[in-house]
Structure 1
Amino acid sequence: MTATTAGWGVELQGVTQRFGDVVALDDVSLTVRPGTITGLLGRNGSGKSTLGSLLAAFRRPTAGRVLVDGEEPWENERVVPGVCFVRESGDVLDDFSIKDNLAYVSGARPTFSHELAGELLDLFELDPKRKPGKFSRGKKSAFGIVLGLASRAPLTILDEVHLGLDAPSRYAFYDALLADYAAHPRTIVLSSHLIGEIERLVEDVVVLDRGRVLVAQDAETLRAEGVSVTGPAAAVEAFVAGREVLATQRLGGTTQATVRGGVAEGDVRRARQDGLELGPVPLQDLFVHLTDPQRATHVGGAR
């Protein structure tokens, strides 16, 4: 296998994955651009881990096509070694030392970097002689990160790998990821609940909700779509009429509405004239509103 410096792209075409009566992915079609860090966001049970398993050829889809670098990954001798899928706490050999684990993984990953692995072991204070089975949850998560980043796979999928880490270790992980990604570009799919923390990392965003794609676009465009509108209740309701309202909050005579779709220059002037304040919406808040199980899409007014 020859790894491209730009990483590998991904395409899903009408993919459905069932487990008995449970539909984990439902007619999913999306594209992951090569050479990007894509945030894969979704609540528990949304299908994120199932999607990662399909990309890594751990299973075949019930229906539809999964393409990695233009080919189906299932039993594909060229593609499989170029996809690294690491879940929280890693998929490691608990009864073997870190050193033995690294030897095993590097034998299956043509792009594996022992130099980077050594740097990350030092960063997370991991002793190569110790066995992961005796690690705390945080140390085990850190070792999973070591394996994922050091693989330098053309497609690297990191599924909630940092959940066991404390805050300083998480930020050390983010910095290490960005630094090595800049030096060795590849496609990274980063799944996380900690959206506020990873927002600075991601270039594209995919939001899954109950097995379906809710959003798939570049992060800057998505950020620009969310707008908060605050002011007198009647003026807010008039301003948001005809827009997609994600959420509203009321306090006395003041209302704040979160809308999706952005605002034009004329809307900004109108808002000022009506005594309204417009502001950005953090990606975390957009995600919460978009995936709220109680939310129905309201077009035409606030609720």
Structure 2
Amino acid sequence: MTLPVEVSHLQLRYGSFTALEDISFKLKGGKIYGLLGRNGSGKTSLLSILASYREQSGGNVAIDGEAPFENARIMEQVCFVQESGHMPETLYVRDVLKLAASCWQNWDADYADRLIRQYELPLKKRVASLSRGMKSALGVTLGLASRAPVTIFDEAYLGMDAPSRYTFYEELLNDYMEAPRTFILSTHLIEEVGSLFEEVLILDKGRLLMHEETEALRARGASITGPSDSVDRFVSGLTVLGQQKLGKTKSATVFGELTEQKRKAALAEGLELGPVSLQDLFVHLTKKRGDEL
């Protein structure tokens, strides 16, 4: 089961501070979406509204055509897992799982049991006594086993070590292939998880900078390396995101799809064209004045 998500002219204010401003996008559902942004860009604020944790100050949000805030039907179709947990610290792990089973109608107890064994979660311990990594593993278990049509992970796996994170990525992809639903992942670990994203949304200072298919976004970036003069001539008129120089050699990162004619011209100049990673594109596109490359 997949549910569409539509956001129109969304605004969120905390007193005089504007956290989100005029954000609009549509998610058809049944895909893995990446939500990227620097610290303070508004990612958690946006996800909290989608999960009905808070109400927007202006604009509209619809999940399956209905506003999610204080909407019981929609709330049980959305699972929101944060790195901070939001799990009652005094509860035992086994009780957290029972609570989760009562919250999400698609809860898969067998899948939850398998994940518990995989992550070696101690059922008889209180949440408060768990390590940060174990709390993250518990959150991941809740999100995956919820089988919620809209499942949101907001840096939920940061506390896990690298092997556990990669196990989570593999589990998420396998579960998505077996039971398609909408996943939204907010992350700073772009190089690790970026290959999962089918579409990417980038927030910057509370505004939506772009929403594109991942491969289309990657295709719009290129690195050009060669003699400084040749690189300068080639990038003239292009959107240059960043430049680096070492001796007589220069490398420039450009944003904008290169035509076949442009690519042939680069080869004729003896220039080397290379791809730009999703993380590098994100860094360049959200770079603040004065930041170092």
CA distance in 1, matches of 2:71, 2:5: 15
Alignment partner for residue 188 of structure 2, among 193, 201, 205? Answer: 193
1:300 maps to which residue? none
CA distance in 1, matches of 2:280, 2:84: 27
Q: How far is 1:228 from its partner?
A: 0.2
Moved over 4 A (4+): none
- How far does the alpha carbon of each residue in 1:149-195 deviate from its partner, in whole angstroms, 9 at most, with x for none? 11110101100001101100100110111111111110000010000
How does 1:134-145 map onto structure 2 within 5 Å?
134-145=129-140
2:30 maps to which residue? 35
Does residue 98 of the first structure (1) align with residue 93 of the second (2)? Answer: yes
* Greater Cα shift, 71-80 or 169-178: 71-80
Does residue 53 of the first structure (1) align with residue 48 of the second (2)? Answer: yes
CA distance in 2, matches of 1:45, 1:259: 26
Runs (5+) with no aligned partner, structure 1 = 297-303
Q: Check whether the contact 1:89–1:143 (CA below 8 A) recurs between aligned residues.
A: no
CA distance in 2, matches of 1:64, 1:17: 9
Does residue 12 of the first structure (1) align with residue 26 of the second (2)? Answer: no
Runs (5+) with no aligned partner, structure 2 = none
CA distance in 2, matches of 1:264, 1:220: 16
CA distance in 2, matches of 1:91, 1:118: 21
2:161 maps to which residue? 166
Q: Check whether the contact 1:289–1:295 (CA below 8 A) recurs between aligned residues.
A: no
CA distance in 2, matches of 1:106, 1:249: 53
2:197 maps to which residue? 202
CA distance in 1, matches of 2:162, 2:84: 16
How does 1:1-303 map onto structure 2 within 5 Å?
4=1, 7-294=2-289
Q: How far is 1:77 from its partner?
A: 2.2
Residue identity in the other structure for 2:7: L
CA distance in 2, matches of 1:196, 1:181: 20
DSSP 3-state at the match of 1:150: helix
- TM-score by structure 2 length? 0.97
* Greater Cα shift, 101-110 or 286-295: 286-295
Q: Check whether the contact 1:16–1:62 (CA below 8 A) recurs between aligned residues.
A: yes
Residue identity in the other structure for 1:205: V
DSSP 3-state at the match of 1:29: strand
Q: How far is 1:295 from its partner?
A: 7.4
DSSP 3-state at the match of 1:173: helix
CA distance in 2, matches of 1:11, 1:279: 36
Q: Check whether the contact 1:89–1:164 (CA below 8 A) recurs between aligned residues.
A: no
1:301 maps to which residue? none
Aligned alpha-carbon RMSD (Å): 1.2
